Structure 1
Amino acid sequence: MATHRRVSSSSPTTPDKVFLEACDVYFRHCHNKPYGFFSAKLFKIKVAQNQIPLHLRLALIACATRYSSRSQWKERKQSTIDGYARGAWELIMSSPDGLDSGEDVSLIQTLAILGVIDATAGRRRGAWVKIGMAVRISQDLNMMGEPSSNLSSLEQDERRNLFWSLYLLDRFVCCSFDRPPAIKDSDCLLNLPFNHSTTKPKSALTMHGLLSRESFNKSQGSGLFGISVGLASVLGRAVKCMMTTRPDSQAPWHKDSEFSTIHADLEYLKELAINNAPVLAEPGQPRSQNDMEDTDREQTAHMVLSHTIYHLTHCILSHPFLLALKTQNYQHPEIPSSWLEETRATCLVHAGSLITVLVEAKAAGYMPVPSVYSYCILFASTIHALYLYSESPEISTGSAEYLRTALDYLSEISELWCNAQMMANALKSFVIQCSRYSDILLCHKPRLHELTQTETTILTAVVDYWTMMDPRNPVFDLAPFNADNFPDFSDKEFGYLTPPATSGLGDVMVSDDSLDYSTPGHKEAPSIDPDIILHYPAPMMSPIQSVDGGSPHWDWDNELDSLTEKR
């Protein structure tokens, strides 16, 4: 019987091999994709000086564990992730100092990582609490404003990027009905992140300056991280515009409405994204393979992110169900038919472009992908599901192919993210009902009154990120999936339509070379060795030596239980 031990709050005497392996995996697969919780250079220094607290070490290892493709992890990967994450959380909660850690930002970093882990595992309230705590602590440290000049440049950059990463995370989890974000745009006086591989602008740029288009020269460039933040702000406004019960003062087709203003801001930021896109490597061109830093790789990740947010925001603004909810609030004798037709056509184009961006990026080597992309591709797919039975053979055929492509995508990444398979199943359930939904929502005057309460609940659930993170979401209870009723997309009725070759955002393309994480001559990205990670952290482990002298075996049940032992 293994002896249970209390988790020590102190760091090991020296950085061990396992933690360094975990760091390598984290910075290769997670850093700035899209969340930049750390400065890579500063992190290296802290590791060398043994200044990484144990709660952060455990959180990083929990995060890195996800990216192992070894077969022996398939059945126990999530329990391992949860075990290390629980250990990190309990260290924080049991600390004598509580949440008072002075000016150190490591607690914020740990909470942010744990929030993502909880969200993707379907523990919504835990994620909400941890992300909220991270935001509040950052506000307590006045991270909404510029860092103190007493800090080093590396520390200033880390705080700036950490706060804006929290901002992105906050906006993503609030893609939901009547769920306000924790960070207000008006409180954000901090300069935007900047891409240090380009020429630095003469003056720093805040989010307000970016969106108000003041003091900005397009030729100088703001960096795609900053543009992604601007797009996330517009995304939040679109969610508030389309997913709240409060009507706007102006009808959405009015030129002075918030709906029209959001459209204009999106096109402005689209132009900036195109102008600031990284220069992609030519095929066969050798590339740097620095394990901790690869600016081009991170820039490409933010390029994909900016494209994705741009298309998602357009989809939210024009989704047939959300549009029907929006327009029913206005006492108007007639919805302008030209406006409605153009808006729906735009919606379909952006839904296809969003799927194409993510599928092309994945095919080019942009793996692993952020978990939020599962929601993005689900949202776009619900639009194509509504057009699956269109009277236009071209539209019907195209939507069928996009749906097939999206389901393949969600299935392929489900090994990384539990919520991807959950969303794939929800999409299949939704598709079965879409013949009726299409008839009600895609006519000139949507007949929302004909929807039953159950149907309204399902339509609301499939576009709500917060609901779709719940393994017990109503789609499965109210519209269970029946494989016998699911359309066969290979049938002649739907045929095939190859998705467009472009990303739908200008001429910017995803290059295979720009996204290759591997060493020359290899295509598979490295993953952490489970035999190594099992030995960490040294003070907590009691591996059983193997008979043949090979890698020690691990007493999973007893040791994982020890992480949650009550103190």
Structure 2
Amino acid sequence: MTLSSHNDPMDTRKRSPSNSPTPDTVFLEACDIYFRHSHNKPYGFFNAELFQQKAAKNLVPLHLRLALIATATRYSSRSQWRERKQSTIDGYARCSWELIVTSQNGLDDTDDVTVIQALALLAVIDATAGRRRGAWVKIGMAVRISQDLQLMLEPSAKFSSLERDERRNLFWSLYLLDRFVCCSFQRPPAIKDSDCLLNLPTYRSSGKRESTTTLKGLLDENNRDTTLRPGMFGISIALVSVLGRTIKCMMNTEDNQEKPWHLDSEYRRIHRDLEFLKELAVNNSPVLAAPGEARPQDEMHDSDRERIAHMVLSHTLYHLSHCILSHPYLLSLKIQSVPVSDMPPAWLEETRATCLVHAGSLITVLVEAKAAGYMPVPSVYSYCILVASTIHALYLHSDDIAVSHGSAEYLKTSLEYLGEVSELWTNAQMIANALKSFALQCGRYSDLLLREKPLVDELTPTEAAVLRSVLDYWAMMDPHNAVFDVAQNGVDGLLHNPDIGPGYLTPPTPGAVAVEGITLGVEMSHSVGFGQKSGDSVDPDILIQWPASIMSPMASEDGGSPRWDWDSELNAMND
């Protein structure tokens, strides 16, 4: 009997932790993998020390063990399991879910948070596999249970310090997950900022003492202090909060008559918050080794990797918020609904030029961070790359040859990135296909949107649906969304250019702040030309389909075969 084909997955309930005198070897192996490759990158669903204690005593319930094994399975580097990996993940995840909803103790009224932890892990699995409704339900359940346990308040003193740390980080990780899946049109988050009254997460092992503050306190516009040290995790939370407001401002406030160029508008308030948090992120970023002196990844402490992962997340969220705030399509919709008689003459052109800079910076941060090996690649980064790349796709047709060629380079870099991370995330390949489809249609979009007065009304309903889809994370989880339907034949007919070889082709970013190979700054200017594609512009047929390279995140220390023993693991689960 195999896990993917058995008729009664609930037979595994008979193998509860208490039935065995020692912890399951396979589960402990999965724990090592999970905490090295996934924990706090960016979701901190557990306190590592507390979880290790429970695992050693065999006190982790089966529903959570199965969810964690399903999550860890994703990081296997054995190429022979590539075809079977998703079905194996789904098999474990299905067993975990059925245990939760059918067990008498699965949804009881105790203070146990393991159901929340399992639901959060399962939601990520569902979302990245395209099971949107399942992910939505599981996130909703996790949020409601967390609210029932009052995780949005400071943890009670009745809990140990490790338990308080775990409950705080668990809630804020749910907050991250909730905000990410709501990067969408008309999909409100389940957690309100006003309900979040607990302190932001901090790293207790940080070299410098981190400040204790709430989300409201950190974002208080009347009490700004760039010397604060809330830590990179806390800054990531604040940036996700601002991202949520950005989504609401640009994607979910129809017929809003507020003029974005006014200083007292929400648009400008978001800008001010982003610049404040960017300064905080730079001031709080971990000090990395000088180029050529970096320690091998195996020698880095887990806390160092986690802080670096949140540093990359913070800078990515900063650029993503700017990309959405000033995206040519969303900006065209915004100014269409308001009187523009008092709009500053150069405001629209300057805003779009800044947007192009942020799009390039976002791609640079993620590609260089991945190349530096500081972190695995969270699935949400594929969406971030897509949003930035749609901006460069529009500028393929710029009359400015330098801009056109620069955008083509960024697009090639993005497609290679998506091809490589598709080894980990199924939805990355879907997003890569969406980007290619979109780029083939961008001649008309550029002509209508990059004008002095954008002609949004001339977009057909289908064209508007495509533009909305590539900016909507929820739509990108659906393999049947509009962007695939419109240009499928075009994708299949892409020409291969023999003069272009694979490799990272990220253009340099003059004036940017480089931190150990990761470019963080955005001090760069472009001379942006608008209009239709000229004869010398880059042809979108250069968007060739890059092959996905083999990733090996779990190679053994001695260079031999990975330690993850699939045969033993599957046999153990099916005994």
- The verdict on a shared fold, with TM-score over 0.5 as the criterion, is yes
Equivalents in 1 of 2:256, 2:562: separation in Å? 50
Matches within 5 A, 1:381-396: 381-396=389-404
Counterpart-to-counterpart distance in 1, 2:23 and 2:42: 27
Note the C-alpha offset of 1:48: 1.2
After TM superposition, the structure 1 = structure 2 runs for residues 190-339 of structure 1, keeping only pairs within 5 Å, are: 190-196=198-204, 197-201=206-210, 204-212=212-220, 218-282=226-290, 283-284=292-293, 286=295, 289=298, 294-333=302-341, 335-339=343-347
SS of corresponding position for 1:100: coil
Amino acid paired to 2:12:
V
**SS state of the match for residue 479, structure 1?**
helix
Assess, with a 3 A threshold, how the Cα gap between structure 1 residues 77 and 287 changes in structure 2: closer, same or farther. Answer: closer
Mapped pair 1:446 → 2:454: yes
How much does 1:177 deviate? 0.4
Alignment identity in percent?
A: 64
Structure 2 CA distance for aligned equivalents of residues 69 and 59 of structure 1: 19
Q: CA deviation at 1:502?
A: 7.5
Deviation at 1:342, TM superposition (A): 1.1
> How far apart in 2 are the matches of 1:110 and 1:308?
27
Unaligned runs of 5+ in 2: 520-551
- Give the one of 109, 113, 118 matched to 1:105: 113
- Answering whether residue 474 of structure 2 is matched by residue 466 of structure 1, we say yes
Q: Secondary structure at the match of 2:12?
A: coil
Question: What SS is found at the alignment partner of 1:388?
Answer: helix
The change in CA–CA distance for 1:524 and 1:299 in structure 2 (over 3 A counts) is farther
Report how many aligned residue pairs link the two structures. 530
Q: What is residue 406 of structure 1 aligned with on the other side?
A: 414
1:421 equivalenced with 2:421 (yes/no): no
Change (3 A) 1:477 1:72: same
Structure having greater relative contact order (Cα 8 Å, sep ≥ 6): 1
Aligned in 2, Cα 1:104/1:479: closer, same or farther, shift over 3 Å? same
Is the 1:37–1:109 contact (alpha carbons within 8 Å) kept by the matching residues of 2? yes
SS of the counterpart of 2:396? Answer: coil
What is the CA-CA distance between 1:219 and the residue it aligns to? 3.7
Which residue pairs with 1:528 in the alignment? Answer: 564
* Structure 2 equivalent of residue 64 of structure 1: 72
- Distance in structure 1 (CA, Å) of the matches to 2:209 and 2:375: 30
**What residue identity is the alignment partner of 1:465?**
Y
Change (3 A) 1:55 1:323: same
Question: 1:332: how far off?
Answer: 2.8
- SS of 1:99's partner is coil
Q: Is the CA contact (8 Å cut-off) linking 1:238 and 1:317 kept in structure 2?
A: yes
Per-residue CA shift, 1:77-105, capped at 9, x if unaligned?
Answer: 10000000000000001111341150011
Change in Cα spacing, 1:334 to 1:297, as seen in structure 2 (3 Å) is: same
State the shift of 1:71 in Å: 1.7
Q: How far is the alpha carbon of 1:304 from its aligned partner?
A: 0.6
Q: For 1:351 and 1:525, locate their aligned partners in 2 and report how far apart those are by CA, in whole Å.
A: 39
Q: How far off is 1:366 after superposition?
A: 3.6
Is 1:47 aligned to 2:55, yes or no? yes
Contact 1:224 1:299 in 2 (8 A): yes
Shift of 1:204: 2.1
- The AA in structure 1 aligned to 2:168 is R
How far does the alpha carbon of each residue in 1:180-239 deviate from its partner, in whole angstroms, 9 at most, with x for none? 0000000000100112213335x6200001011577754451100000000000000000
Q: Is the 8 A contact 1:68 1:530 kept in 2?
A: no
Root mean square deviation, CA, Å:
2.7
Counterpart AA for 1:174? C
- Whether 2:191 is the aligned partner of 1:183: answer yes
Comparing 220-229 and 274-283, the one that deviates more: 274-283
String of CA shifts for 1:34-66, please: whole Å, max 9, x gaps: 000000000011011111000000000100111
**Structure 1 residue corresponding to 2:12, chosen from 7, 21, 33:** 7
The separation in 1 between residues aligned to 2:139 and 2:442, in whole angstroms, is 35
Q: Tell me, yes or no, if structure 1 residue 125 matches structure 2 residue 108.
A: no
Supply the AA of the counterpart residue of 1:535: N
Moved more, 160-169 or 6-15: 6-15
The answer as to whether partners of 1:280 and 1:511 remain within 8 angstroms in 2 is: no
Give the equivalent residue in structure 2 for 1:432.
440
1:320/1:383 contact within 8 Å kept: yes
Give how far 1:478 is off. 2.2
Q: Which amino acid aligns with 1:236?
A: G
- In the superposition, relative to structure 1, how do residues 297 and 481 fare at CA in structure 2: closer, same or farther (>3 Å)? farther
Residues 1:378 and 2:386 are matched in the alignment: yes
Residue by residue, what CA displacement relative to the aligned partner does 1:360-395 show, whole Å, maximum 9, x if unpaired?
Answer: 011111452000000000110000000001000110
- Pairwise CA distance, 1:499: 2.0
Return the letter of the residue paired with 2:564: I
The answer to whether residue 371 in structure 2 is matched with residue 363 in structure 1 is yes
Give, as a single letter, the amino acid of the residue that structure 1 aligns with 2:441: Q
Q: Distance in 2 between matches of 1:355 and 1:4?
A: 45
Q: CA shift at 1:482, angstroms?
A: 1.9
Instruction: Give 1:345 deviation, angstroms.
Output: 0.6
1:145 aligns with 2:181: no
Counterpart code for 1:345: A
